[in-house]
Structure 1
Amino acid sequence: MFVGDDWAEAHHDVEVMDNSGRRLAKARLPEGVAGMAKLHAIIGDLVGEDADEVEVLIGIETDRGPWVSALVAAGYTVLAVNPLQAARFRDRLGVSRAKSDAADAHVLADMVRTHAHELRPVAGDSDRAEAVEVVARTHKSMIWERTRHTQRLRHTLRDYFPAALDAFDDLDAADTLELLGKAPTPARAARLTIAQISAAMKRARRKNIADKAPIIQAALRADHLGQPEIVTQAYAASVHSLLAVPGVLNTQIKTLAEQVDAHFGQHPAAEIILSQPGLGTILGARVLAEFGDDPTRYASAKARKNYAGTSPITRASGKKKVALARFVHNDRLIDALTAQAQTAMMRSPDARAYYDKQRARGVNHYPALRQLANRLVGILHGCLKTGTPYDEATAWPLSAQKAAA
């Protein structure tokens, strides 16, 4: 039995279909316990006394949330359908481009009926892995949000106070936020003393304060183009408000990092993941969060690489064959894997040699980094599959053979 579930925030449009494509039932169900109970009742009435002999496959365009968890807990086979896949399948069924929630439920049910073997079941991740995912994703979202606010602050300062951009390298640093809060205008910043600057830097635990403080003061007192006084005061009021956001985010990012460390440290795979070159607690938690820990999810290293988006895609037609990067991928995962590859080059001689080999072939920096990340994903897959920590000689056997020779 096949079910299409087109979900929205407040309701679900569902359609139940049999093996022949005949519609057995359709309904709009409310979100929550009441809607789930009605769905169970609909399927129960259709299945009857043959419940043990009927498999129910449900297609839905998400793989998380209480509704999906309840479906999995009820014993249904839940298939996560990418919205792009559903849109392409919808075009196969009609060319009018008509769209409705009920029609989307029909598309999902028919897609599950005919292409279930090509769809990805919702991963059976453990509760620990889901907990790591929650805190790791929120932590990264806060970092991205801090970057956005810092860029807003940078653009505002450029419009009326360019000297601040010359004086401060990190606009989201604690001492920068403190000094700009005290002196948000060029005139007030020019009156900052060495003692005031040094005190702020000391509270932020900066190094080489005696050398850096005079440089900051000189940059703030240098001649720069500015704005009329009344406009400057308006900008200063805006900056005063903008400064509050990065400060709060800095505190919460630090607090949440402790939660990431705590949850990740309790996971059984933490030791293996931390043994990988370039993966510390934060990056390791992100990698675990995005890959999940369902041991049956990735049939091979290639499957894990494809999901990661590090492996290339091939387009071939006749005698023409081109390998291209995957631009449709999990942004959070590819961000973590790229950061791992950058750090691994400093920790693993073989990883560095692999990167240098790609560069020697004429590959640019980012494609070479992506190829290194792809290799590291394969190594991680092997370690997780065998339950063994990373070993340089095992991971790079050709390098080990050359060294032995």
Structure 2
Amino acid sequence: MLLIGAGWAEDHHDVEVQDESGRKLAAVNLPEGVTGIVGLHELVARHGGADLDPAEVVVGIETDRGSWVQALIASGYQVFAINPRQVNRFKERYASSGATSDKGDAHTLADMVRIDRAQLRAVAGDSEAAQAVKVVARAHQTLIWERTRTFQRLRSTLREYFPAALSAYADLTLTSTDALELLVKAPTPAAAEKLTRTQITAVLTRHRRRNRAAKAATVQAALREPQLGLPEQVTTAYAATATAHARLIIALNEQIAAMEEQVKAHFLAHPDAEIYLTMPGIAEITGARVLAEFGDDPNRYVSAKARKNYAGTSPVTRASGKSHTVQARYVRNNRLADALQAQAFSALRNSPGARRYYDKQRAREVGYNPALRQLGNRLVGILHGCLKTRTRYDEATAWSHHADLHAA
């Protein structure tokens, strides 16, 4: 068996090869791309021999994405994606200096897959369809996060020089393209005061707003409210800043809408989509995010508990002496946790069983978020059962046990 540590970087990879006893066989720097992969295969052939089974080559690397990882998996190697924080903690077992280097990381990764392989999670063998869903779902969510950050900057800027805009466009929602177009059209209090009702209505009409006349009147009145002013030169500088943020959000809105269509298309093309969409609280976008983070490798989760642990919905027990506490997991996949939280919240409205389960937790004086997290944990278990048996969600079957307890 060969144990390989691959320190991942943007344009190169420091690689160390060990045998089963931990003896260093080679330490090289390989380039990114085809040349690097060919070099790695040559190392394997040189030190493992022509008869070495690819499954006997174990690779530790600090990422689970990219062409290098896919090439390693396609070669039949065992590949373990190891979080950089785990690498740092492993180093602390043998040294406390805190020193770090790419070569040192490669050595540590090789040691980890040699010593602690049973405690590590192999990179899932997800299908190409699942990988595609993951790419677009994550990109879509990242764009939304970027829009939120940009909006917070815009809101902070408006509070400094043009607070009337915040109240004027509150009913339209300031992240909406029509409100942003009005802000770009009149980015200063003086210019906004001159906006006519006809101009405002024209923008609302172009974006198919309902009750346009009433909304235009409300916006115009709010923009003409008296407010404290700043020197003209300072106001002009603020206006330029706000305009830049507004134009950026308009562009993000356009790309988010386009990426949303991609998410739906890739998700609906996946064979598991039919099962996901039967689950309460899941539609195309939420379903795509959950599928993206769970993947579709049928051997990745050996039980419902394993899936719940990965999701971060199952609690953590901390027991020492007389102390015994049960706490939420805070080290988890935040993208998956957010999607499952959204699913649990939506399930309250369209699943009587989920509603009963949630109300039961609240009746035990469990807080809102912990009760929602417990519901999410239960839904993950149900999803696992549906995927394992390849059956659609059934309300009566999913909640039969809890329904009987409720009736009793």
TM-score, normalised via structure 2 length: 0.95
Please report how far the alpha carbon of residue 53 of structure 1 lies from its aligned counterpart in structure 2 after TM superposition. Answer: 8.5
Cα separation, 1, equivalents of 2:205 and 2:404: 51
Structure 1 runs, 4 residues or longer, greater than 4 Å off? 402-405
Among 369, 374, 397, the residue aligned to 2:400 = 397
In structure 2, give the amino acid aligned to 1:346: R
Cα separation, 1, equivalents of 2:148 and 2:55: 51
Cα separation, 1, equivalents of 2:392 and 2:55: 42
In structure 1, give the amino acid aligned to 2:127: S
Match of 1:99 in 2: 100
Match of 2:52 in 1: 51
Cα separation, 1, equivalents of 2:148 and 2:42: 48
Q: 1:309–1:329: 8 Å Cα contact kept in structure 2?
A: yes
Among 365, 382, 387, the residue aligned to 1:384 = 387
Among 194, 199, 216, the residue aligned to 2:197 = 194
Please report how far the alpha carbon of residue 71 of structure 1 lies from its aligned counterpart in structure 2 after TM superposition. Answer: 0.6
In structure 1, give the amino acid aligned to 2:38: A
Match of 1:176 in 2: 179
Q: How does 1:310-349 map to 2 (within 5 A)?
A: 310-349=313-352
In structure 1, give the amino acid aligned to 2:395: E
Q: Does 1:239 align with 2:242?
A: yes
Q: How does 1:1-400 map to 2 (within 5 A)?
A: 1-52=2-53, 55-169=56-170, 170-400=173-403
Please report how far the alpha carbon of residue 330 of structure 1 lies from its aligned counterpart in structure 2 after TM superposition. Answer: 1.1
Structure 2, gaps ≥5 residues long:
none
Cα separation, 2, equivalents of 1:380 and 1:241: 44
Q: 1:47–1:54: 8 Å Cα contact kept in structure 2?
A: no
Cα separation, 1, equivalents of 2:95 and 2:371: 43
Please report how far the alpha carbon of residue 86 of structure 1 lies from its aligned counterpart in structure 2 after TM superposition. Answer: 1.2
Cα separation, 2, equivalents of 1:173 and 1:97: 48
Q: How many correspondences in the alignment?
A: 405
Q: 2:357–2:402: 8 Å Cα contact kept in structure 1?
A: no
TM-score, normalised via structure 1 length: 0.96
Secondary structure of 1:51 counterpart: coil
Q: 1:53 to 1:33 in 2, by over 3 A?
A: closer
In structure 1, give the amino acid aligned to 2:109: L
Please report how far the alpha carbon of residue 207 of structure 1 lies from its aligned counterpart in structure 2 after TM superposition. Answer: 2.2
Cα separation, 1, equivalents of 2:116 and 2:368: 39
Please report how far the alpha carbon of residue 209 of structure 1 lies from its aligned counterpart in structure 2 after TM superposition. Answer: 2.4
Q: 1:272–1:388: 8 Å Cα contact kept in structure 2?
A: yes
Q: 2:353–2:403: 8 Å Cα contact kept in structure 1?
A: no
Please report how far the alpha carbon of residue 171 of structure 1 lies from its aligned counterpart in structure 2 after TM superposition. Answer: 1.1
Taking only aligned residues, the RMSD between alpha carbons, in angstroms, comes to 1.6
Please report how far the alpha carbon of residue 54 of structure 1 lies from its aligned counterpart in structure 2 after TM superposition. Answer: 7.0
In structure 1, give the amino acid aligned to 2:216: A
**Residue deviations 1:275-314 (CA, integer Å, cap 9, x gap):** 1111111111111111100010111111111111111111
Cα separation, 2, equivalents of 1:100 and 1:185: 52
Secondary structure of 2:92 counterpart: helix
Q: 1:393–1:399: 8 Å Cα contact kept in structure 2?
A: no
**Residue deviations 1:41-87 (CA, integer Å, cap 9, x gap):** 11101111432387111111111110011111111110111222211
**Residue deviations 1:156-179 (CA, integer Å, cap 9, x gap):** 111011001111121111220121
Stretch moving more, 243-252 or 213-222: 213-222
In structure 2, give the amino acid aligned to 1:51: L
Cα separation, 1, equivalents of 2:84 and 2:155: 36
Secondary structure of 1:92 counterpart: coil
Q: 1:13–1:28: 8 Å Cα contact kept in structure 2?
A: yes
Cα separation, 1, equivalents of 2:325 and 2:119: 24
Secondary structure of 1:27 counterpart: strand
Please report how far the alpha carbon of residue 112 of structure 1 lies from its aligned counterpart in structure 2 after TM superposition. Answer: 0.7
Q: 1:11–1:29: 8 Å Cα contact kept in structure 2?
A: yes
Q: 1:172 to 1:377 in 2, by over 3 A?
A: same
Please report how far the alpha carbon of residue 404 of structure 1 lies from its aligned counterpart in structure 2 after TM superposition. Answer: 7.4
